[in-house]
Structure formats: C-alpha cells, structure tokens
Chain A
C-alpha cells in the first residue's frame, strides 16, 4: 500500500469531485424538468403525443449512456446545419455535450418515475377534489403533484445515485471529473488499488449523503 500516493492524490480527487457534482446537479435539474414534461405528454389522451413520449423514454432507457454521449459529442458535429448554427457554440464543448446527454438520459428515467407516481394516485383523491368543486388546475397542483412527489421519492433517490455513477462517463469525452482524474493518476503511477480506494470512498460518501437526504425528505413528506 502506498499511503503517500493516497494522501497526495486526495486533494486532486477532491477538486475533481466538484466537477462531478456540477455535472450531476445541472443534469438533474434539466432532467427533472424534461421528465416532468414527458410524463405529462405520456399521460396525454392524444395517442401520437403519448407514443412520442414513450418512444423517447424507450430510446434512452434501452441504449447505453456511453452511446448517447458519443452520438451527441462525436456525431452531431457531422451535421453541417448544426455546425453553422448558433447551437454549435454549445455543442462543440464536451462539457455541454455531457450535460445534454446526461439530462436526456435521466429525463427518460425520471419521466417513468413521475408517470407511474401520477398513475398510482387513488382515483378517490381526485374525485374528492372534484366533489369539493376544485378546478382541474388546483386538483393537479394541490392534490396530484404533492402525492406524486411523495410516491416517487424512493425511486428518484435511486435515480440520483445512478446518475452520480453515470457522470463518470464524462471522462470518456476528455472531461476531468472524479473518474477522469482517478484514471489519469492510475495510468501515470500504475497504482490502481490505492487510487480506487480513495476515489471509491469519495463516491461512496456522496452516495451515503444522497441516500440520507432522500430518507430525510421521505420522512418529512410522509403522511
């Protein structure tokens, strides 16, 4: 065991953790928004709209995240129209390509979580709202949404942890996140075990934090 290396690499890996956390939080915020929109489209009565939302979630859940990143980072640059458009400012940066891929990916999983939460709400709650003369809007925002949030918390907690692990793929498009830096240190020192222990502990610590945060929220919103 090379304890010096472990001590020396710790600050570098901690710096890289910030990149990981930035990637994670930004993709989760965009993904939550996408997931919410697509969950509502999915429940639409128009068959084309709901099929479209289903296709989106099927496509992104059925293919590896790595393929999605590569299509966006390497593939989209090939389209002449995109390269000359204003979008290219964003798409030429690996950072934004990773964010786009992560957001679309977590959006697909989140849409499934929110959809199933909305679907499992007992009809009695909605009927109760209707019999009280509440408008559809109020029923949706004051009855359906709060219950759905509570219902989907455990599954969404898992999704956050999966996404934390997913951000490690940013290292494949040259970003120096926690895994990227860990790989760099491993390939320069050839001490995989030591680096794995340090980087792995940081990931485990983050997982632990997320797990407890979700537990706390679950307790807070339990009824």
Chain B
C-alpha cells in the first residue's frame, strides 16, 4: 500500500493527477467529437449526394481503421501539417504540438465519427409530424432546431452517447504511446521504476473501472431527466 502513498515516496499523487489527465483528454475529445458531429450530421442527412459521400467516407474510414493507426498519423504527421500551414503564412521555424492537443484531436475525430452516427440515427427516428408541425406554426429555423428537434434528439441519443463516452474514455489509454502522462503512461512509468507491473496495471484497470462506473451513474441521471416527458 505504501506504493500508493502521496508525496515523494509513493505514486498516489502522480496517479491522481494522471486520472485527472485521462478525464481532461476524454472530455476534450468528446467535445471535439461533438463539433465534428455537428458538422457531419447535417451533411449525412442532406439531399446533396456529394455532401453525403463526404460524410459517409469520414464515418466509414474512421470507424474501419484502428484507433492506434489514427493516433500514429496525428502523432507523426501533426506537427508536419501545422508547419506546412504555417509556412504558407511565411513562418518557417519548427513547431512542436503539445501531446495533449494531438491526442485529444486524434481521439476527438474518432469519437466524432461515432457521435455522428448516433445523432443521425436519433434525428431520423424523430416523428416526421414534428418537423411539419413546427413548419405549420411558422417557427424560425434556429428555434425549430433548439426547441423542437434538439430536446427530442437528446432523449433518443443519450443512451447511445453514453456508449460513445465509454469508448472514448477507453480509447484515451492509447494516447499513452505518444508520451502524454495519463493513467496508462503513469502506470508504465511507475511499473518501470518499481518493477511491480502487476500491481500498477491492475490499479490502472481499477481506475478505469471506477471512471466508467461513476460516469454511468451520472449519465443515468441525465437519461431520467430527458425522459421525464415519457
């Protein structure tokens, strides 16, 4: 148990901050994913064939390629891409992107592909009459979306979004290959210096279980809230 004590002698505080890092990356990635989903869901539902193809290739490619491969693409290609864009604006110095940003972006794009599918499914299962009714009432487009479609969509989407959250949370463990100190990386460091991998990796597993368990509790509450009309 002394291995987990706080301060210089133990790994308690390091693992605590690593857990916060995992949470921070997961939440950032989830938000980036939502932004991607907000862009690609309308494209998926649009009547324009070309826009459909763009959105479909995004979700198909990302969901068909291993997460680790996407992370390597961002890890090795990220700073190159940024430097290329910067060189257009006349900036030619070496730019290194922070592992947190690369990681959250890589996981965010993956999580966005899943969220897009969830939102598409949710919007498609809203009763057609709801769209017609708000047209008949002459509601403006933003109000129609915010007050009619969004609340109904969320109710249908929350159970599936909780799956996306779980996938995202677990995927963040893969960013450890880029050196970002989250739960997995911290356990790797601790296991290396104490030669006790069994203990630290099992403890990491426990931390992940705790995170998934607590977030499920929270999401269940949200589900009840959005289901109150039914």
Could you show 28 A-B contacts with beta carbons less than 8 Å apart? A58-B209, A62-B166, A62-B208, A63-B208, A63-B212, A67-B208, A70-B184, A70-B187, A70-B188, A71-B201, A74-B197, A75-B197, A75-B202, A76-B198, A166-B66, A168-B67, A169-B68, A179-B72, A182-B69, A192-B72, A192-B73, A192-B80, A196-B77, A200-B61, A200-B69, A203-B65, A204-B64, A207-B64
Q: Is A66 an interface residue (CB 8 A)?
A: yes
Q: Which 5 A-B pairs have the closest CB atoms?
A: A168-B66, A75-B198, A192-B77, A64-B173, A74-B197
Contact of A183 among B67, B72, B188 (CB under 8 A): B72
A70–B174 CA distance with the chains assembled, in angstroms = 12
**Closest residue to B211 on the A side, CB-wise?**
A62
Q: Is A5 an interface residue (CB 8 A)?
A: no
Contact of B69 among A66, A76, A196 (CB under 8 A): A196
Q: Is A143 an interface residue (CB 8 A)?
A: no
Q: Is B191 an interface residue (CB 8 A)?
A: yes
A63-B209, A168-B66, A179-B66 as given contacts; A70 in contact with B76, CB under 8 Å: no
A208–B61 CA distance with the chains assembled, in angstroms = 11
0/1 string, A147-185, CB within 8 A of B gives 1: 000000000000001001111110110000001001100
Contact A199 B173 (CB under 8 A): no
0/1 string, B177-197, CB within 8 A of A gives 1: 100000010011001000011
Tally the A-B contacts, defined by beta carbons under 8 Å. 113
Chain B residues lying within 8 Å of A193, measured Cβ to Cβ, are 73, 77
Chain A residues lying within 8 Å of B60, measured Cβ to Cβ, are 204
Q: Is A59 an interface residue (CB 8 A)?
A: yes
Q: Is B53 an interface residue (CB 8 A)?
A: no
Q: Which of A46-77 contact B (CB under 8 A)?
A: 58-59, 62-68, 70-71, 74-77
Question: How many residues does chain B have at the interface if contact means C-beta atoms less than 8 Å apart?
Answer: 38
Q: Is A187 an interface residue (CB 8 A)?
A: yes
Contact of A196 among B73, B171, B174, B191 (CB under 8 A): B73
A58–B201 CA distance with the chains assembled, in angstroms = 17
Q: Is B222 an interface residue (CB 8 A)?
A: no
A52–B218 CA distance with the chains assembled, in angstroms = 25
Contact of B66 among A71, A165, A208 (CB under 8 A): A165
A1–B199 CA distance with the chains assembled, in angstroms = 46
0/1 string, A68-106, CB within 8 A of B gives 1: 101100111111000000000000000000000000000
A192-B80, A193-B77 as given contacts; A172 in contact with B64, CB under 8 Å: no
Nearest-neighbour CB distance to chain A for B187, whole angstroms, equals 8
